[in-house]
Structure 1
Amino acid sequence: MNTIAANIKRQPANQPQTLYKILIILGLCHLLNDSLQAVVPAMFPILQKSMSLSYTQLGIIAFALNMVSSIMQPIVGWYTDKKPMPFALPIGLTSTLIGIILLALVPSYTLVILSVMLIGIGSAIFHPEGSRVAYMAAGTKRGLAQSIYQVGGNTGQALAPLITALVLVPLGQIGGLWFAPVALTAVLMLAYIANWYTSQLSLNRKKKIHSSSETKPLTKKIWMALAILLFLIFARSWYISCMTNFYAFYLIDNYSFSIRESQIYIFAFLAAGALGTFFGGPLADRFGRRNVILASILGSAPLTILLPYAPAPLAFVMLLLTGFVLMASFSVMVVYAQELVPGKVGTMAGLTVGLAFGMGAMGSVALGSFADAAGMPLTIKLVGMLPLLGLLGLFLPSDLNWRIGQREV
């Protein structure tokens, strides 16, 4: 009994610390990375007018950006689980830097596609490695750490409407050059993170952190849990893709908004989503990953279904609530997958976050084509039903056991 008590007293001292300095710098880098990526959909109204593009063509641009990132993220994560590459972080942002410069200058639709693919490559490299750094710096607060990391990215995405209203509307396509210094700043900050990452690798190599978890095969229940989780990501990603890429056109057509006014609404949705992302992680640390995932997806369904029927002032409030509730599960799903399959931090981050981009990519093309054929109002109404698929979350196993290191589900 005394031995047990002594072990309990010693345990807190052996717990790894949460490194807030690294997490905050990483979150800021994520903000810069995703604000650069957000320039692409933010430029849609500009490109539509200057190049006379259809909704389908805009969807293909989003597809090129997100699909490259989606395909590469799990591959990068899988490879770096075996052979971590700290300096891939600044190298990836260099690809984004080149892409953002080209996007501001290219005169043709084909070259726009090439530009966004370079941005997608940078994103594919950054996200799984960034998630790994957040995991390494988390200590015992994995939900909070992932939230700090992910809230940076979602805040960067939320800046897209402001980018449109304040930079791209007055300056046009060439305004994208203003973001080249942003990309360079991110490269320099990630060089600092890469140095810290390298030092941690030498320590972790001595401890052989992943050796035991890699020998355990995945059970059928774990595979089923992953399949359900990915399907929920599919539902959330299609809805968010519709809102970020096309809801501005709905506002312009149905409420007679200007481009600038419509972007304020999109900003409200994304900014509330960033806030929800931050609070989702700590709530999951306290109440469980599965519970927060369920509350997030299903809790947003009444709002998304009623949103198309709301008058403009009420729609603004509903957008705030929808963004907060729906995005509360963003970082939680990443941590859920990483704890479900220990030792595969990069692979799970690439799979969950990468799939989100990929599903958004396919959604952009499909929803753009549907909107061309059936109209944007019907598209928005039907997409509002997607969060009802959150009912599948009832079949997710409770994380209360395996989130502390056990694998029984």
Structure 2
Amino acid sequence: MRRNTSISLLSVGHACVDIYQGSVAALVPFFIAERDYTYAVASGIVLAASLLSSVAQPVFGALTDRWAMPWLLPLSTLLGGVGIALSGLSGSYLLTLVFVAISGIGVAAYHPESARVARIVSQGSHRAMGWFSSGGNIGFALAPLMVTAVVAPNGLSWTPWLALPALAGTALCLPVVRALQQKQADGPGTTTHAGKDDIPSFVKLSLAVVFRSIAFVGLSTFIALYARQRLGGSEVVGTAALTVLYCGSAIGSVAGGSLASRWDRVTVTRWSYLLTAVAIAGVVWVPGPAIYLFVALTSVGLYVPFSLQVTLGQDYLPSRIGTASGITLGLTVSIGGLASPVIGSIADATSLQTALTPLVVMPLVGWLLFRNLPEPTAPRPEAAASSEADDTGVVPAQQSGNR
């Protein structure tokens, strides 16, 4: 199996997993309509998917720093799908929270290990990591379409059909898992890495990820409802806005990898955050159908740094690649979900427009945090990896942290 084949399989598998992150927000309008939830109560479902995930992802990351666990990819993919599949079957709010939390744990287990595996098989290429990240974002983009197609005409009782992508994702990642397990059979099973950690820079990076996360998850939770309020119309109007938000993310991830090959990652991310603040302001305040344009610009701006922040985190913590991946890749959704109930409460007390206004500030804080971040100057791994890669396109895990 060559490198491009491995990355392609991982990218599509990533899409199948992140469908379930996007499904949580896409299900919120249906929970409100069918069960008469308030904004705050419905946003608690997003919190359930995020709370355990935010804690679990660094834990799984730390475990993958100590032991290579590629078998987590198929297992966590199934878990993510099963949780969402069961979420619509019971009218009990508590059981709904439990099932969504199970899905969140599956997503948490998947991302640190998948980011480590993707870095190995991509040999550190920014473009390849961009495609891997874009796969997840495509899953986000497909989520509202899939949820609307299944749930809108049939009701929440049809959510078991949403498990189908999990089955497909499990099948797609198995060939890559087998290739890696074969490599591990010929060498150590641990994943130790060389290099000096830059903890202060990693902390600044992580804080920027948190504020970016609040902006994206806040919009993804409420943009469908907000678009319907601003434009009127049926659920299709809101679904279209959410789909634009997710589709722009796929474009942004690929663009980020290409831009980083021309300019450094810190510069690209800093400018992206600055432009994103302007775009979010347009979403909140510009009237009429132009909201779709500003939603698209916001999405691209928020996702240009997506894969760049993952590799920056890995380079700032080269001795703890899994932990870095769990925090930077996981926090993009997890911590943002913690803010959703606050946004929902403000919306219940005032209006959605008032509740979404603070999101304009979030990318500005990220821009400030990135102003003094250094760009890692260690050699790119492609040069070292090219001499060690074999016909499978996979390099030893011990080399994946060198940059």
> What TM-score comes out, normalization by structure 2 length?
0.89
Q: Does 1:253 align with 2:201?
A: no
Partner of 1:43: 27
- Aligned residue identity for 2:311: V
More off after superposition, 96-105 vs 366-375: 96-105
Offset at residue 211 of structure 1 (A): 5.2
Partner of 1:5: none
Q: Does 1:115 align with 2:99?
A: yes
More off after superposition, 160-169 vs 378-387: 160-169
> What TM-score comes out, normalization by structure 1 length?
0.88
Q: Alpha-carbon deviations, 1:42-73, whole Å to 9, x = none?
A: 11111112211111111211111012111111
More off after superposition, 310-319 vs 115-124: 310-319
Offset at residue 244 of structure 1 (A): 0.7
1:287 to 1:200, Cα distance in 2 relative to 1, 3 A:
farther
Question: Is the contact made by 2:231 and 2:289 (CA closer than 8 Å) also made in structure 1?
Answer: no
Q: Does 1:278 align with 2:257?
A: no
Offset at residue 189 of structure 1 (A): 2.1
Distance in 2 (alpha carbons) for counterparts of 1:291 and 1:174: 47
1:299 to 1:203, Cα distance in 2 relative to 1, 3 A:
farther
Offset at residue 352 of structure 1 (A): 0.7
Of 193, 197, 214, 1:238 maps to 214
* Counterparts of residues 125-164 of structure 1 (less than 5 Å): 125-141=109-125, 143-164=126-147
More off after superposition, 91-100 vs 53-62: 91-100
Partner of 1:24: 8
The runs of 5 or more residues in structure 2 that have no matched partner are 382-400
1:193 to 1:318, Cα distance in 2 relative to 1, 3 A:
same
1:148 to 1:211, Cα distance in 2 relative to 1, 3 A:
closer
Distance in 2 (alpha carbons) for counterparts of 1:339 and 1:403: 11
Structure having the larger proportion of residues in helix: 1
Percent identity of paired positions between Structure 1 and Structure 2: 28
Distance in 2 (alpha carbons) for counterparts of 1:153 and 1:211: 26
SS at match of 1:372: helix
1:257 to 1:239, Cα distance in 2 relative to 1, 3 A:
farther
Q: Alpha-carbon deviations, 1:314-360, whole Å to 9, x = none?
A: 22112112211221001100000101221322111101122222221
- Aligned residue identity for 1:361: G
Distance in 2 (alpha carbons) for counterparts of 1:330 and 1:308: 23
1:23 to 1:183, Cα distance in 2 relative to 1, 3 A:
same
1:403 to 1:65, Cα distance in 2 relative to 1, 3 A:
farther
Offset at residue 140 of structure 1 (A): 4.5
Partner of 2:155: 172
Aligned positions, number: 381
Partner of 2:179: 196
Distance in 1 (alpha carbons) for counterparts of 2:335 and 2:356: 17
Partner of 2:46: 62
1:302 to 1:131, Cα distance in 2 relative to 1, 3 A:
same
Of 198, 204, 210, 2:192 maps to 210
Of 184, 187, 199, 2:167 maps to 184
Distance in 2 (alpha carbons) for counterparts of 1:284 and 1:67: 32
Distance in 2 (alpha carbons) for counterparts of 1:403 and 1:386: 32
- Aligned residue identity for 1:28: V
- Aligned residue identity for 1:100: I
Q: Does 1:53 align with 2:53?
A: no
Question: Is the contact made by 1:137 and 1:145 (CA closer than 8 Å) also made in structure 2?
Answer: no
Distance in 2 (alpha carbons) for counterparts of 1:140 and 1:244: 30
Offset at residue 205 of structure 1 (A): 3.2
Q: Does 1:73 align with 2:57?
A: yes
Question: Is the contact made by 2:245 and 2:296 (CA closer than 8 Å) also made in structure 1?
Answer: yes
Question: Is the contact made by 2:218 and 2:340 (CA closer than 8 Å) also made in structure 1?
Answer: yes
Question: Is the contact made by 1:39 and 1:176 (CA closer than 8 Å) also made in structure 2?
Answer: no
